[in-house]
Structure 1
Amino acid sequence: MMNLLEQDTELSVIGLATNGKEAFDLCCKHEIDIVIMDVRMPICDGIEGTKLIKKYIPSIKVIMFTTFEDQEYIKKAIKYGAEGYVLKDSGYDHIRMAIKSVYKGYPVFHKNVLDTMVESISENEPERPEIHLTATEQNVLNFVVEGKSNKQIASLLMLSEGRIRNIISELFVKTNTHDRTQLAVFAVRSNLVE
């Protein structure tokens, strides 16, 4: 993967670590924006590495990059502050998009990971009231779940970024959520995604 990332002129690979502690050490020595972290590594796994990085250098964003859709790994990664969870079978374009989206502040979670998160939520939650969305709100919501940025959504729907921000704010109110990750999880859990 390192070779593929180095081919993108907008990305710069600083180093390669074999465990979470090495990744943390690299973060301490270099100016790093994003760490792509595997879950299973020897000595210090990716979850513990993420915990270290987010505790001591919270400005660094972490994307979990793994084959594991295990609920416990996902919960811990999110608990410790991972901004993304991408499966290794994702295509290269999806991985590049995830890196660039997370860099801009948009969390990205593979659909299978969102499904796993939804499954882990108790089925005993009270039923939510029916939510009515306009066609535009529905389109924006679908793109948010896909991890698209406001700019990408605006371009796809031929609307201004300001309008997209307003629509997302309206979606937060309608769904009683507070950020894009909560909105995406709510949308999948409530079958609001088309």
Structure 2
Amino acid sequence: MSIRIVIADDQASVREALAVMLDLVEDITVVATASDGAAAVTEVTAAMDIGGVDVVLMDLRMPGTDGIEATRILKGLFPDLPVVVLTTFSDERSVLDALGAGARGYLTKDAGRVEIAAALRAAFAGQAVLNPEVQARLLDAVEAPRTKAVPAGLTPREVEVLRAIAAGLSNREIAQQMFVSEATVKTHINHLFAKAQLRDRAQAVHFAFTHGVVG
């Protein structure tokens, strides 16, 4: 099964290079490209009527409607459509704004074809993706937690799991850090996701920072 994607980037050379590069990947098909956020919304909406779109690869800083606003609009129109941000910016604010708008993944433009393709597959499968540079920046913030009231009625253990997710740790790594089983970690994650009304790990990262659990 081919993953149908739309690429949005205001630089024609980057946009065209991405389209050519990703079209060469066996299980990925580029169905449209867009030069800004508004065009991305238009292209995705049109493509939904002729085969659908599985993932949007979105630049962040574009004139007019930028990637943040375009992501927010697309998630309003198509709540289940994953958006993966591909940008030169990896600062904490940009990451959090993108995740807050509903992006499921965040990559920097030094990512290669293999990494981008893997991120698109992961997003299509419902997984959140943050590349190592982005995770490192978030980890720096995690190491200096704020002191605020625990949000959403989370238990201390659930907050610990939430901080670990924000640091980019996998379930196995969290289990090792907490000296518990992966099944226990999954239970904590299910509980905190339900309490905080989170869909995935990308939303959990945003929730952790915006509610003062980390940062």
1:71 aligned onto 2:88: no
The question of 1:3 aligning with 2:20 is answered yes
| Structure 2 letter corresponding to 1:14 | V
Equivalent residues of 2:86, 2:108 under 8 A apart? yes
Give secondary structure in 2 for the equivalent of 1:100: helix
Larger RCO of the pair (alpha carbons < 8 Å, separation 6+): 2
Task: Map 1:45-84 onto structure 2 (within 5 A).
Answer: 45-84=66-105
Task: Give the distance between the partners of 1:141 and 1:177, measured in 2 at CA.
Answer: 17
**In the alignment, is residue 116 of structure 1 matched against residue 137 of structure 2?**
yes
The alignment partner of 1:13 has SS state of strand
More strand by share: 2
Q: When the two structures are superposed, what TM-score results if normalisation uses the length of structure 2?
A: 0.62
Q: How many residues align?
A: 161
- Work out whether residues 22 and 28 of structure 2, in 8 Å CA contact, stay in contact via their aligned partners in 1: yes
| Structure 1: gaps (5+ residues) | 132-137, 144-162
The answer on whether the counterparts of 2:37 and 2:70 sit within 8 Å (CA) in structure 1 is yes
TM-score, normalization by structure 1: 0.68
- The reply to whether residue 105 of structure 1 matches residue 126 of structure 2 is yes
Deviation at 1:141, TM superposition (A): 3.0
Q: Is the 8 A contact 1:19 1:45 kept in 2?
A: yes
The aligned residue for residue 44 of structure 2 is: 27
Alignment partner of 1:93 is 2:114: yes
Identity %: 25
Task: After the TM superposition, list the runs of 4 or more consecutive aligned residues in structure 1 that deviate by more than 2 angstroms.
Answer: 114-126, 138-143, 170-173, 176-183
Q: CA RMSD in A?
A: 3.5
SS in 1 for 2:145: coil
8 Å CA contact 1:33–1:59 kept in 2: the answer is no
Q: Distance in 1 between matches of 2:131 and 2:46?
A: 30
> What is the 5 A alignment of 1:180-191?
180-181=201-202, 182=204
Structure 2 partner of 1:14 = 31
Q: For each residue in 1:29-86, what CA deviation from the matched residue of structure 2 results, as whole angstroms up to 9, or x when unmatched?
A: 1111110000111121111111111111212110000110122221111111000001
